[in-house]
Amino acid sequence: MKDNTWLHRWDERYGNEEFAYGTEPNHYLKEQLAQLDPGKILFPAEGEGRNAVFAATKGWNVHAFDISSNGQKKALQLAGQNGVTVDYQVGELSTLGYQKEQFDAIALIYAHFPAEIKSSLHKMLEKYLKKGGYIIFEAFSKKHLDYIAKNEKVGGPKDIGSLFSIEEIKADFPDYTIVELTEKEIELHEGLFHNGTGSVIRFTGQKPF
């Protein structure tokens, strides 16, 4: 994942004073966390920290990472404003030293990794989840390209390989107990870059014991 273009893109997006996706948590994440007892949670590709900070305010022990140091800076700023702490690392997943079965939950909220590595990253992340732990996932579906064509302000990747299908999620997290797995049209109002109608995959699944 040593792609300087990719890194530059996110550093640039998170380099402004305004929060790219706002400071409020993702609605689906908020809904799903309300169903769980707080424990240790990991937020991959967490950007400016809106979801990690929300989880911390609800009593979770929060860990997060991203490749963007600008994202980390704003996440820690947001955490400070909310009187919480987040263990936020900058770097690639394989270098960050997380432990097998360390987390009670992993939240993948618009964690759109490059097409060639997204499944391998899911499988790597899954090893850090405890047996009986939960994946909470929301990201754009492959149908989302049609929505971008109508309204670029809704955001999201423009290459189909970085978008998700239900079949891919089933393949990446096999044998999970599916609490929810659906493709649906939703309205997004998240900061500057997620505005309008889009198509997403939502998944909450429990790792087998």
pLDDT of residue 16: 87
Q: How far apart are the first and last CA of the chain?
A: 32
Q: For position 206, what pLDDT does the model report?
A: 98
Give 144-182 pLDDT, tens digit per residue. Answer: 999 999 999 999 999 999 999 999 999 999 999 999 999
Ordered by where they begin, the domains of the chain are 4-206 (3.40.50.150)
Rounded distance between C-alpha atoms, residue 67 and residue 105, angstroms = 21
Over 69-124, what HEC string results?
A: HHHHHHHHHHHHHCCCCCEEEECCHHHCCCCCCCEEEEEEECCCCCCCCHHHHHHH
pLDDT (average), residues 37-53: 98
Which pTM value belongs to this model? 0.96
At 5, is the pLDDT very low, low, confident or very high (cuts 50, 70, 90)?
A: confident
pLDDT in tens, 6-41: 778 888 999 988 999 999 999 999 999 999 999 999
CA distance linking residue 101 with residue 105, whole number of Å: 10
